[in-house]
Amino acid sequence: MKKELFQFLSKHPVFRKLRLAEEDRKDLARSIEDEYLVGFLSGMIREIEEIMGIDPNLEQKKILEIAAERIVRDLQADAASIRLFDPESMRMTSFGSYRFSEDERASSIPFRESIAGKVVEQNQSIMVPSILKNPDYQNKEIVQKRGLNSLLAVPLRISKFMGVENDVLGSIQIYYKEDNRYFEPLEVIHAELLARRVSFVLAKKKILDLQRLNDRKEKIVNKIFIKLSNREGIKLKDLFVLLIPELGEYLSIQICALFTVSRDRQFIRMEAGYPLDRTYHDPGYTFTVSHHPYFQAVIHGAEACGDYPFERIAPSYLLIKDPQKSRLSSPGMREFVERYHIHSILLVPLKADEEIRYMMMFYAADQRQYFADEEIELLTFFGREIMKASRLELLDDVLHDFKSPAIAISGFASRARKLIESKNIQEVRDKLVSYLDIMVRETDRLQDMVFAVGLEGREEVLDLSQAVQKRLEINQETILEMRRKNIQVTPPELEPDLPVYCSHFGLERVLDNLLSNATQAIPDEGGILSVRTDREGGMACLKVRNTGEIPQEKIEQVRKGEVKGRGLNIIYRFILANHGRMGLHTESGQTEFTIKIPLHQA
């Protein structure tokens, strides 16, 4: 270093005029390095370390405010402010300052017509010797009131992180009272170096935030699957009710609700709320989607995505920033949020096979004003994961239903083989054809289950009594395979012509589970199983009666929809989806399960 400095002094015109002796030039070079440069560089290292030592766990705005204060001190300036570029609004947003109050500074200024915007656009520092003479500087009255006359604006940038995000761009404005100030090149480089270290702290914060976010996501997933492993036949509503309180460890959830979306997407129905004593509507309350623009935006995609002044529309959520001013608010919504002091609403649609089946709604009320981006990320992630878990449950439902057709195929195949071995085929031809038809039909059902996991299938007009007759025949074969010879199946009382409009696949699943549950509930010493269909008002009615009683508390659970066990959950979901009803009562040593489905009107 001394050699390079000596050579510089030897060649510089000023020092050549002084005609210093070679030894004097060496002494001068040594003195500049030892007495000035060492101190200057040590000071700069200290300044850089102080910037890099800012706690990355602080909020981003607080980090920038601390950095602004230290830059003002290190550059012997008088004030500083930070603006970040918002690509959605094309404006420079205020994001912290030192020696400026929030009220003094405009919350945002134009990108194209501002010093800060030009710094971002050109990605280089801009010196303004006299602010009052510069046409690009906005709000001159504020700096004039403060006695600030010159400005050095340097770029602030956080580079792309993991290739999935755009750079965060901004500008740090450093103010001086001196007018017509000359900014030395070393001073500009000094400021740029400190700004780059601020970017380092922000990048470090981003990494730590992502680590925390991923840790929280992993914990959410673990909680979901712990709940799944401890319960059988759990519904999406159950997952929501069980998990929302536990998310308080990572999120501040005040009030929220879960809705189901009707198949025609014309209505939504509230299924559950949290907390129970603060929900705004009771479970079962139904909304008409067309009456509420915010529901239309989520369910029908009626609005273009974008970050607007009072709402943000994204593919995975809708954030109503200000329900009173949002164009998506209805008069009823404005009255509602005013009554309950709600400041912001987040709607998260939940999809299955690219179709919205459910929706979660979260409210920011009372003292809470908004939802942070990290909260939105976690809540949308939670929605995606409980839908995955729900789909796994549907797969388990189908696997649960495999046993009925599998037993039927095995049983009728065994019968067919015995007939072939013991009698002339021509004599038993009709019976063999009947057995083979049943085996083909049950094989088709297994294929349907494989190809339609999680779906109930296409809806069509079906005769309830005919469907019951066929599934009862299969159940009787199951009873034989189980060697339950002490079960007596009485001749069914089936009223003809009971048309219902529903999924053939779904109806057969319900009938199989009803008959299977009734069969298994019959005591070991035996009993009867009877089936009856009729019409009651505008409903097709099925009653399955079996020997054996069940506890009263279980009957109450079924009536409230708090059913446990996979088979009962399959029945409950089907009845609910088809606007039906179900009932259960027990007396005199017998239990009767009733389901009612609306009769189809041609």
Last residue of a domain, one of 417, 432, 451: 451
From CA 86, how far away is CA 467, in angstroms rounded? 61
Length of the chain: 602
Those residues with Cβ within 8 angstroms of residue 257's Cβ, 6 or more apart along the chain or in another chain: 270, 272, 273, 274, 279, 280, 281, 360, 361
Q: Does some domain include residue 83? A: yes
Does 556 reside within a domain? yes
Quick one: pLDDT at residue 216?
A: 72
Does residue 48 form part of some domain? Answer: no
What pLDDT score was predicted for residue 276?
74
Both 245 and 323 in a single domain?
yes
Q: Do both 141 and 113 map to the same domain?
A: yes
In a domain, 297, yes or no: yes
Say if 220 falls within a structural domain: no
Domain that holds residue 102: 53-207
Are residues 367 and 479 located together in one domain of the fold? no
pLDDT in tens, 521-560: 888 888 999 999 999 989 999 999 999 888 777 777 666 6
What pLDDT is stored for residue 423 in this prediction?
Answer: 65
pLDDT-based confidence at 33, cuts 50/70/90? confident
Instruction: Specify the pLDDT at position 527.
Output: 92
Q: Are residue 344 and residue 489 in the same domain, yes or no? A: no
Residue type, 474: I
Verify that 78 and 188 share a domain, yes or no. Answer: yes
Residue 217 falls inside a structural domain: no
Secondary element (H or E) of residue 547: strand 539-547
Same structural domain, 446 and 458: no
Distance (Å, whole) CA 524 – CA 520: 9
Q: How confident is the model at residue 207 (pLDDT cuts 50, 70, 90)?
A: confident
Residue 374 sits in a domain whose CATH number is 3.30.450.40
CA dist 467 to 129, 434, 569, Å? 88, 17, 20
Residues 74 and 197 in one domain: yes
> 3-state class of 396 per DSSP?
helix
Are 115 and 164 part of one and the same domain?
A: yes
Token output for 55:
């706690």
DSSP-assigned beta bridge partners for residue 595: 542, 582
- Same-domain check for residues 253 and 175: no
Kindly report the average pLDDT of the chain as a whole number. Answer: 82
> Are 447 and 458 in a shared domain?
no
Q: 393 with 400: CB under 8 angstroms?
A: no
State the Cα–Cα distance between residues 81 and 263, nearest whole angstrom: 53
219 domain residue, yes or no = no
Q: How would residue 273 be classed by pLDDT, with cut points 50, 70 and 90?
A: confident
Residue pair 582/595 in contact by the 8 Å Cβ criterion: yes
Residue 151, domain member (yes or no): yes
Band of residue 162 on the pLDDT scale cut at 50, 70, 90: very low
Residue type, 554: K
- Which of 362, 378, 395 terminates a domain? The answer is 395
Name the residue with higher pLDDT: 400 or 86. Answer: 86
Tally of domains in the chain? 5
> Is it the case that residue 565 has pLDDT exceeding 70?
no
Amino acid letter, residue 216: R
**Hey, which of 291-295, 301-305, 580-584 has the most confident mean pLDDT?**
291-295
pTM of the model: 0.51
Q: How confident is the model at residue 163 (pLDDT cuts 50, 70, 90)?
A: very low
Q: Where are the beta strands (DSSP E) in 193-329?
A: 255-261, 267-274, 286-288, 306-307, 311-314, 317-320
CB 565 within 8 A of CB 233: yes
3-state SS string for 274-314: ECCCCCCCCCCCEEEHHHCHHHHHHHCCCCCCEECCCEEEE
* 242 & 378 share domain: yes
| Alpha-carbon dihedral angle through residues 148, 153, 154, 160, given to the nearest 10 degrees | 120
| Same domain, residue pair 461 and 550 | yes
